């Protein structure tokens, strides 16, 4: 079985695959500092809850955008699997062209998102990953990663508004019906964050769809905040919560270490 790990700024997302089947997924907060043994213990607990034997998990792929956590999580993965994790980074085969100034700067999570979206939905594509930050990327009909944009995430933005102002209240970003006009401070904040984020996403999709090779692009969204943002978009956007984990599996299959004879 394959352990797929995505180390993000707020959470470590992980999944265990048996072939194409995702048997288990979970998240570990990175707000609390832990040792490699502690990370391994948490994963073992999740495996036990899902009735997955330790001996069955013998390979791992890791993507990380948090350098100070990468080594710790790699050590935890070695403890769990007994194998050296395959790290997503420069030199890994992605299966698509990358047309940005420095391809080595492409985050492992975005490489995984892109490959999974191409494999399951086809090109051209606009892929939205809404978490601590919101990324929106464009992939043309020739399977070329053209680039994208990085926007502030909706939840950190809400926290920043509260921390940076004296009188604005804390708010919940729930499913309350939205109006384009807030009649009090809390509703005005909620309107600005939710509808403002949706308008930005719609606006970037419109601009990307007008680029050469992007006509008819499908829009795919993933990430913990994706439902909050895309539910208010005017564009048709398909939700795929497991996109990154599936992409890590595809990357592992494309770069699987060859067995020794």
User: Which residues have a catalytic role annotated?
Assistant: 109
What's the CA angle centered on 224, arms 219 and 229, to 5 degrees? 55
As a whole number of angstroms, the distance between CA 158 and CA 132 comes to 11
């Amino acid at each position: 079985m394959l352990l797929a790990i995505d180390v993000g700024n707020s959470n470590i997302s992980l999944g265990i695959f048996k072939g194409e089947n995702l048997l288990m997924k979970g998240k570990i907060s990175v707000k609390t500092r832990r040792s490699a043994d502690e990370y391994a213990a948490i994963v073992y607990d999740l495996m036990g809850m899902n009735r997955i034997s330790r001996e069955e998990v013998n390979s791992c792929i890791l993507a990380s955008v948090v350098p100070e956590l990468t080594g710790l999580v790699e050590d935890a993965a070695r403890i769990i699997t007994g194998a050296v994790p395959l790290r997503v980074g420069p030199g890994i085969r992605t299966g698509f062209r990358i047309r940005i100034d420095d391809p080595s700067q492409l985050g492992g999570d975005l490489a995984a998102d892109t490959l999974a979206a191409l494999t399951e939905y086809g090109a051209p594509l606009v892929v939205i990953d809404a978490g601590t930050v919101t990324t929106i990327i464009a992939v043309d009909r020739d399977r070329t990663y053209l680039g994208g944009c990085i926007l502030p995430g909706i939840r950190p933005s809400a926290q920043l508004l509260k921390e940076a102002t004296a009188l604005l209240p804390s708010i919940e970003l729930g499913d309350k019906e939205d109006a384009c006009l807030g009649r009090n401070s809390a509703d005005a904040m909620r309107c600005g964050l939710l509808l403002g984020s949706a308008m930005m996403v719609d606006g970037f999709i419109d601009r990307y769809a007008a680029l050469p090779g992007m006509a008819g692009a499908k829009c795919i969204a993933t990430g913990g905040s994706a439902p909050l943002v895309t539910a208010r978009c005017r564009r048709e956007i398909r939700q795929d919560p497991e996109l990154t984990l599936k992409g890590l599996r595809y990357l592992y299959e494309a770069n699987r270490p060859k067995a020794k004879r």
